[in-house]
Amino acid sequence: MSTSLMKTLASRNSLQRLGNLCRNGSTSSTDPCGTYDLVVVGGGIVGCATAREMLSRHPSLKIAIVEKEKAVAMHQTGHNSGVVHAGIYYTPGSMKAKLCVEGLKLSYDYFCKNDIPHKKIGKLIVAKNEKEVKRIDELHQRGLKNNVPDLELVERDCIGNYQPNCQGQKAIWSPWTGIVDWGLVCNHFAEDFKKMGGEIHLNFEVTGFSELAESKGKGELVPISVQSKNKCILAKYVLTCGGLHSDRLAVMTGCDLNPRIVPFRGEYLLLSDSKKSICVTNIYPVPDARFPFLGVHFTPRMSGDIWLGPNAVLAFAREGYSWFDINVRDCIEMAKFPGLYKLCFKYIVPGLHEVLKSVFYPLAVKDLQKFMPEISVKDVKRGPAGVRAQALDKDGNLVDDFVFDGGEGSIGKRVLHCRNAPSPAATSSMAIAKHISDKLETDFKF
């Protein structure tokens, strides 16, 4: 018998014993709907990419993804700008910078191998005044330090060669920036995972984790029961990638409340059909260094549409895709969170500007006209929106790097929570998956 087959059988036998333990001595009133070596909570791009990576590294493991919605990629992964970022903005040496540049290459390889429609249409970051010209030079240096391929500085008179009718004082041209439908990519990851034997449980909202007390002391590994409303599944180890709910999942195993997730909606405007053809590349402003958001940009979509956005306004629900989506629990939690007050106090003026531009969108069009003067208010209408899971500490600081956590007691030792996978986590997803898989292999004994 081959070693891998023996390993598979050993793994399946030990999982069967876990399942029996649960059925024979479970405190839970529900029968488990499966027993796994690893359960990944969250079917966004981070969860799906990591589950896929783990199963391709360890084909003998039994792995499941549980997702609360009726399909994968229903939240941030399916509601974003669809840009494949090249990695210019991020602090050199940071995980964000490293994983983005690595993720970009892995993503393009994957798109080509799997015939996923994408376009390498490039991107201009355009300075509108002298102050921003200085930032352009700094950003260019940053990009070079981050090993972003083939960056160019573009002088004022040449900007039109990259994007006709675009105006600015100076720009960066990034030819490797592209566009793709990240929801589609996530669905491909999920399909790969299923083909390798992985299982996906949809409509499975995790409400808690517990250990099966009766199995303690019998020399068996105590199964973790991953609970939903009327069902549970059993796991040796758990990884959570819960996006907008990542802090709530972490608290379920005794982790600190902080950092908390505060939802920031990003709303887009849509360019009318008659003006679609004027935009041939991604056009970005010079970002405000105080915020992790990149600013309102022109983004051609794979569908042929042009999206203008996203802005950044506080949402009244974690999944609040419009001003009218209000969730009482989410609002009460935000109202009780001192970090949010401190943030609002610090950024009251730019925050109110964003709200004004959201309500009266002709004001947002004025900003866009600085780059493309031929756009007028009648050329745009309101478009879709996404909600960012912005991690915030109790002092009101925006958390801009990865945060991993476990929790307390013996469950905490077998659970890894990815509490913050900052944007551009879609572009970086394949590199993040490798990083998390290395961590799972180090922390847990599969």
Ligand X SMILES: Cc1cc2nc3c(=O)[nH]c(=O)nc-3n(C[C@H](O)[C@H](O)[C@H](O)COP(=O)(O)OP(=O)(O)OC[C@H]3O[C@@H](n4cnc5c(N)ncnc54)[C@H](O)[C@@H]3O)c2cc1C
Q: Position 203: which residue type?
A: N
Question: Which residue's CB is nearer to ligand X, number 47 or number 122?
Answer: 47
Q: Are 36 and 11 in contact (CB under 8 A)?
A: no
Query: Is the distance from CB of 319 to CB of 325 less than 8 angstroms?
Result: yes
Q: What angle do CA 318, 321, 323 make, to 5 degrees?
A: 95
57 φ, ψ (degrees, to nearest 5): -75, -35
What would the two tokens of residue 146 be?
């981050």
Indicate the residue among 25 and 208 with the shorter CB distance to ligand X. 208
Whichever of 42 and 407 has its CB closer to ligand X, that residue is 42
Nearer to ligand X, 266 or 339 (CB): 266
Smallest gap, in angstroms, from Cβ of residue 156 to ligand X? 27
- By CB under 6 A, name the binding residues for ligand X: 41-47, 66-69, 74-77, 79-83, 85, 205-206, 241-245, 249, 266, 310, 386-388, 421, 423-427
Instruction: For residue 114, give the 3-state DSSP assignment.
Output: coil
* Smallest separation (angstroms) from ligand X to the CB of 337: 19
Report the C-alpha gap between 170 and 200 in whole angstroms: 48
Neighbour count for residue 91 (Cβ, 10 Å): 13
Compare residues 58 and 79 and give the one whose CB is closer to ligand X.
Answer: 79
Cα–Cα distance between 146 and 144 in angstroms, integer?
5
Nearest residue to ligand X, using CB?
Answer: 44
| Cα–Cα distance, 106 to 429 (Å, whole number) | 9
User: Residues 80, 244: contact at Cβ < 8 Å?
Assistant: no
Give whichever of 68 and 435 is closer to ligand X, judged by the CB atom.
Answer: 68
For the bound state, the minimum distance from the C-beta of residue 440 to ligand X, rounded and expressed in Å, comes to 16
Residue 441 near residue 416, CB atoms below 8 Å: no
Least separation in angstroms between CB 180 and ligand X: 9
Query: Tokens standing for 294?
Result: 């990149």
CB of 198 to ligand X, least distance (A): 16
CB of 3 to ligand X, least distance (A): 34
